[in-house]
Amino acid sequence: MTDEEQARMDALEKSLRAKLKRWRYREFFPEDGPLRRELYARHMAFFKAGLTYRERLLMAANRIGKTTAGGYETTMHLTGRYPDWWPGRRFDKPGSWVAAGTTLETTRDIVQAELLGHGEDYGTGMIPHADIVDLKKRPNTNGAVDFAVIRHQAGGEARLSLKSFDQGRKAFEGTARQGVWLDEEPKLAIYTECLTRTATTDGIVMVTFTPLEGATDVVMDFIEHADLVS
């Protein structure tokens, strides 16, 4: 192979790798291989529970893929790109969603990165680049996104608002929501407000966290009233 041919091959490989980065959600939960979905029974149970329950909590140890699960499902609802094997809730039209973390910084570095990509490399998170219609950054926050407009497969556009618990309960007031994903444990007042926002839409609230604060109001509410699924 000549140097010119090698250069063309290298350029092609680089281009293919860049395109694959923009379809990241396809890497997760395949049918076969070392990352096949049958190995992720808890994740599958969490997804499936969405058929029955409006409120769900994935409470587990650190580094087991809680944020991945929340980001993946949120992406499915925002884009309508449900895989054939999807066992959970499906929405047949786009809606308004909120995703939130503890602070604006952690929302940017964890939740936003999971959904949209790290930094300004938008489209390298779970949500495909082709589906990101528009987004607006918050001023003076070193790249934190305020909201994004996402193309839905059923036609029309979904809206994703990124918030943080340190903004307080009032930041979660406002319009009805199709769904809310809270990554880390919120105060009970914020959780209750999110439930209120989804009440008229038959929407869903998903929470993913490690119970670092112990037996808080939110933890005990789920322990005392929730059904365990597996």
**Catalytic choice (184, 185, 193, 224):** 184
Q: What is the mean pLDDT of the chain?
A: 91
The structure tokens 């994703």 sit at: 160
183 in any annotated domain? yes
230 in any annotated domain? no
Among 88-102, 139-153, 209-223, whose mean pLDDT is lowest? Answer: 209-223
61 burial class (0-12, 13-18, 19+ CB within 10 angstroms)? exposed
Active site residue 184: yes
Q: How far is CA 171 from the centre of its chain?
A: 19
DSSP state of 171: G
184 in any annotated domain? yes
110 in any annotated domain? yes
Q: What is the CATH number of the domain that holds 167?
A: 3.40.50
Helix (H) or strand (E) holding 154: none
In one-letter notation, the amino acid at residue 107 is T
pTM above 0.85, yes or no: yes
Question: What is the side-by-side strand order in the sheet with 55-59?
Answer: 55-59, 204-209, 179-183, 96-101, 157-164, 145-151, 132-137
The pLDDT of residue 107 is 98
Look at the chain and count its residues. 230
**Torsions phi, psi for 222 (to 5 deg):** -70, -45
pLDDT at 71 over 60: yes
Number of domains in the chain: 1
Structural domain of 25: 3-225
Contact 172, 151 (CB under 8 A): no
